Amino acid sequence: MEYAELNNGIKMPMQGFGVFQIPDFEQCRQAVSDALSVGYRLIDTASVYGNEKAVGCAIRESGISREDLFITTKAWISEMGYEQTLKAFEASLEQLGLDYLDLYLIHMPFGDYYGAWRAMEELYSTGCVRAIGVCNFEPDRLIDLCHNAKVIPAVNQVEIHPYIQQPEAIRIMHDFGVKPEAWGPLAEGKDRLFYNSVLSAIGNKYGKSVAQVILRWHLQRGIIAIPKSVHKKRMEENFAVYDFRLTEEDMALISALATDYNRILDLHAPSEVERLYQIECKN
């Protein structure tokens, strides 16, 4: 396991397990249980996923010491605002069955996220959460928040994968001491990513799968990644990326795969923003 040091000095695993789109209680509980048995210690959920209770159940059943785990959840658009975010935090803690969070994130850069950030700063100052951060904040919004916040976000979780590599956004995060974290690190397999000839050829050199090559690429770029799967064998494969290293040539070949448009979420599209506002939080 490799760790990232956040801007407040705490250590965060460089690879975690995401539970997006696993709303069924039993399926999510089993998936998290399997991930923990494989060796994952970072679990990433969100109030809007509707599976915090299942995540909490798996954590309790695992028998793993709480201090050995790194648990992240997020506040949704409808939970933005000072009072709303404080209530959302308590609801998430109750759903998870935890006394504190390791990382609490603003899920989307919409609504009263400045009021939400004040609430998160308060939660952080009282020790209810070990670190606070944001998701999907593009450079302009991240810069603005950093210039107006008392506490600089520790993490910005954004779409990063071989097709969307975000070099400028990552440079700005580094300038402010914000750690980049990739959601959708395998691009959800879009555009036949797992059959890409460049990635396949690199994988063949090391006896590794395309997914393993991509996750190793994230690690070597200093990016935290949270792949998701409900299949234990796939979890084991995704976790087995610490016994090889990509060359500079490999990294350059992967860099050349970048395109200039988001594959999964386009926050500049009015229709997409409208769609997000229609999603109800499950807490």
What digits encode the pLDDT tens for the residues 1-35?
A: 899 999 999 999 999 999 999 989 999 999 999 99
Residue 82 domain flag: yes
Average pLDDT over every residue of 173-192: 94
The per-residue pLDDT for range 208-265, each reduced to its tens digit, is: 999 999 999 999 999 999 999 999 999 999 999 999 999 999 999 999 999 876 678 8
**Tokens representing residue 13 in the block:** 């695993």
At residue 189, does pLDDT exceed 90? no
Do residues 183 and 159 lie in contact, with contact meaning Cβ atoms separated by under 8 Å?
Answer: yes
Other C-beta atoms lying within 10 Å of the C-beta of residue 43: 26
DSSP label at residue 47 = G
Q: Which residue has the tokens 């700063």?
A: 121
CATH number of the domain within which 46 lies: 3.20.20.100
CA distance 225 to 210: 15
Structural domain boundaries, residue 218: 3-278
Query: Is residue 213 situated within a structural domain?
Result: yes
Pick left, alpha or beta for residue 250 (phi over 0 → left; psi -120 to 50 → alpha; otherwise beta): alpha
More confident call, 152 vs 188: 152
Report the predicted TM-score, pTM, of the whole model to 2 decimal places: 0.95
Asked, for residue 216, whether it belongs to a domain, the answer is: yes
pLDDT at residue 281, rounded to an integer: 83
Number of domains in the chain: 1
User: Under the phi-then-psi rule, with left for phi > 0, alpha for psi from -120 to 50, and beta for the rest, what region is 191?
Assistant: left
CA contacts within 13 A on the Cβ side of 133:
26
- Residues marked as catalytic: 49
The SS3 of residue 224 is: strand
| CA proximity to 2, closest of 256, 242, 260 | 242
Q: Is 180 helix (H, G, I), strand (E, B) or coil?
A: strand
Residue at 62 is within a domain: yes
Q: Quick one: which H or E segment has residue 225?
A: strand 224-225
Is 161 annotated as ligand-binding? no
Cα 54 from Cα 28, distance rounded (Å)? 6
pLDDT in tens, 77-128: 999 999 999 999 999 999 999 999 999 999 999 999 999 999 999 999 999 9
Which of 189, 174, 197, 169 lies closest to 260 in space, CA to CA? 169
pLDDT digit string, tens, across residues 36-82: 999 999 999 999 999 999 999 999 999 999 999 999 999 999 999 99
Torsion (CA) 24, 281, 47, 191 in degrees, nearest 10: 70
Contact status, residue 177 vs residue 253, Cβ threshold 8 Å: no
Confirm whether 32 is domain-assigned: yes
Q: Are the CB atoms for 265 and 137 separated by under 8 Å?
A: no
Q: Could you tell me the two tokens for 105?
A: 């994130």
CA atoms of 45 and 283, how far apart (whole Å)? 12
**What is the structure's pLDDT at 282?**
67
Query: In 34-139, which ranges are E strands?
Result: 42-44, 70-75, 103-106, 132-135
The pLDDT, as a whole number, for residue 191 is 82
| C-beta of residue 56 within 8 angstroms of C-beta of residue 73 | no
User: Quick check: 138 and 164 in contact, CB under 8 A?
Assistant: no
* 283 assigned to some structural domain: no
